[in-house]
Amino acid sequence: MTIVAMWCRHEGDNVIGTGGSIPWSVASDAKHFLDVVKGQTVVCGRKTYESFKDRTLPECEIFVLTRDEGYAVSDAACHYAVTGLKEISEVVEEKDIYIAGGAVIYDLFMTGKEKLKPQVVVDCVYAGEMESLAEDVAEISVSVKTLEKNYRRISPFYCQDGVKSAIYLKKGEFVEQKVLKRIVEILEQNAVLA
Ligand SMILES: NC(=O)c1ccc[n+]([C@@H]2O[C@H](COP(=O)([O-])OP(=O)(O)OC[C@H]3O[C@@H](n4cnc5c(N)ncnc54)[C@H](OP(=O)(O)O)[C@@H]3O)[C@@H](O)[C@H]2O)c1
């Protein structure tokens, strides 16, 4: 099945977060993320999970990576704490999965086992001002280098509210058209194409 990674990074320095949140607020970009993951199976790190409002994402099944074997999720019916990638390897046999960060998790998937490398990356780049950064800055330069080397852009740039988004496909991979079509339809709403 298909593995999709989606992020919004700051132009130039690839910062995606600080102090447990994202240091900018662009409503249209946040909506794109929620629309893309809606009804899907999401994988994220424990810190990102705790950054979601009410520790949930509407209509999503969520796999939370944590090394804490006793970690309590907010909704035991459809959120699962997992301590390694074995469970994720099994899930991807049956379902598409959406990698939702943060930096540690993007890097883990983008540079890790071949079987778990995303075939599709939705690369959103924010060019505006950031709020002040805390000591812990999450940045994804390693993932971006991998993107530049191993992926090719298959969409125009969708520009909206200072965010420029595009879809990348891992070189040599083929992906179900319906996965791409759904993402394109979400990104192109109200966007200026470049
Ligand atoms: N702009 C964006 O698109 C975007 C997207 C997502 C997140 N963010 C931001 O990114 C920041 C969080 O990113 P982050 O890199 O600091 O943290 P993270 O990737 O969300 O979570 C890291 C945690 O995941 C767990 N983990 C990592 N590797 C693991 C492995 N191999 N096996 C099991 N568990 C593992 C550990 O949890 P334990 O400590 O519990 O063991 C680790 O502390 C926040 O500021 C968030 O707002 C931004």
Helix (H) or strand (E) holding 177: helix 177-188
* Residue that is written with structure tokens 């194409």 in the block: 193
CA-wise closest residue to 97 among 148, 48, 89, 167 = 89
Nearest CA to ligand 1 atom 22: 45
Mean pLDDT, the chain, rounded, equals: 97
- pLDDT, tens digit, for every residue of 49-86? 999 999 999 999 999 999 999 999 999 999 999 999 99
In this predicted model, what pLDDT tens digit does every residue of 24-35 receive, in sequence order? 999 999 999 999
Span from the CA of 65 to the centroid of ligand 1 (angstroms): 8
Q: How many domains does the chain have?
A: 1
Distance 29 CA to ligand 1 centre (A): 20
Instruction: Give the residues surrounding ligand 1 with Cβ less than 6 Å away.
Output: 7-8, 16-18, 20-22, 44-48, 51, 65-68, 83-84, 100-105, 108, 138
Domain span including residue 141 = 3-193
Query: 148: buried, middle or exposed (CB in 10 Å: 19+, 13-18, 0-12)?
Result: exposed
Strands 158-160 and 97-99: unpaired
CATH number of the domain enclosing 106: 3.40.430.10
Pairing of strands 120-126, 3-10: parallel
Note if the pTM is more than 0.85: yes
| Residue owning the nearest CA to atom 24 of ligand 1 | 45
CA gap 56, 53 in Å, rounded: 6
